[in-house]
């Protein structure tokens, strides 16, 4: 049980760390990120809303207070990582590494979290 708990927290903190890094880049270097979005053929108007969604997703993953919202947060973060991985792979720019790490660690966090930190209906 202790190994599972440690694995859960490592996977969760790596995932959240990558998303925090990404969100702060979106907030602090908006023009640069918009340039990347143009290269990847994504609309630039979603940069700030996506950063806000990432921060809210991280909060829900760590808090786990509302079960259905936590499930949606994990789903949203997963879809974000899948789309980022696909976009970077298609652009062949080598930026897919962080997305790949999230796609590895996010499911570990999700499934171990169901065992380690069960959610209760509030």
Mean pLDDT, all residues of the chain? 93
Q: What is the pLDDT of residues 86-107, one digit of tens each?
A: 988 988 888 889 999 999 999 9
Local confidence band at 122 (pLDDT 50, 70, 90 cut-offs): very low
Would you kindly state where each structural domain of the chain is located, as residue ranges?
Answer: 2-116
Angle CA 63–66–69, to nearest 5: 95
pLDDT of residue 120: 62
Nearest residue to 111 (alpha-carbon basis) of 71, 52, 57: 71
Mean pLDDT across the stretch 69-90?
Answer: 95
Q: What is the pLDDT of residues 44-64, one digit of tens each?
A: 999 999 999 999 999 999 999
Note every long-range contact of 78-83, with CB atoms under 8 Å and residues 24 or more positions apart, other chains counting.
78/103, 78/106, 78/107, 80/50, 80/53, 80/54, 81/106
pLDDT of residue 8: 97
């Amino acid at each position: 049980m202790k190994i599972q708990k440690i694995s859960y927290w490592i996977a969760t903190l790596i995932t959240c760390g990558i998303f925090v890094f990404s969100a702060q880049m979106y907030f602090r270097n908006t023009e640069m990120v918009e340039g990347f979005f143009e290269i990847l053929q994504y609309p630039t108007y979603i940069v700030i809303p996506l950063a806000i969604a990432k921060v809210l997703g991280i909060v829900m993953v760590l808090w786990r207070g509302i079960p259905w919202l936590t499930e949606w947060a994990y789903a949203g973060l997963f879809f974000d990582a899948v789309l980022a991985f696909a976009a970077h792979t298609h652009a062949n720019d080598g930026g897919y590494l962080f997305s790949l790490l999230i796609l590895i660690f996010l499911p570990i966090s999700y499934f171990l979290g169901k065992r380690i930190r069960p959610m209760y209906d509030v």
